[in-house]
């Protein structure tokens, strides 16, 4: 659901994937809470016009790691990135995005 909502650019629907006190770490910056995560998503979408295409996933207890191909308006596109989700009560508690 996260990747479909992200690719659709639906900020409200994407925000519903996260717990209220969730954190996202991307490009060495940390975003805390729904408002900051929504702003991060909207800013990234405007700047890079990207799409994320999951390639493989590995789940260990409450942690899900997805390797994805990311295509957009940024140097080095396409890139493979790792999306490491920590899940709690069916929502994303934390997300760390790093290069593979």
pLDDT in tens, the chain (100 residues): 899 999 998 888 999 999 999 999 999 999 999 999 999 999 999 999 999 999 999 999 889 999 999 999 999 999 999 999 999 999 999 999 999 9
Residues 6+ apart with CB under 8 A from 67: 54, 55, 56, 57, 80, 81, 82, 83, 100
Structural domains in the chain, CATH included, are: 2-99 (3.10.450.50)
């Amino acid at each position: 659901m996260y990747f479909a909502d992200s690719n659709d650019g639906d900020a409200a629907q994407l925000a519903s994937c996260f717990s209220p006190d969730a954190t996202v770490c991307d490009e060495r910056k940390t975003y805390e809470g729904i408002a900051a995560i929504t702003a991060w998503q909207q800013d990234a979408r405007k700047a890079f016009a990207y799409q994320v295409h999951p390639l493989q996933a590995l789940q260990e207890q409450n942690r899900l790691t997805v390797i994805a191909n990311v295509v957009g308006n940024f140097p080095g596109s396409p890139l493979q990135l790792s999306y490491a989700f920590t899940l709690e009560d069916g929502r994303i508690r934390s997300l760390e995005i790093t290069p593979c």
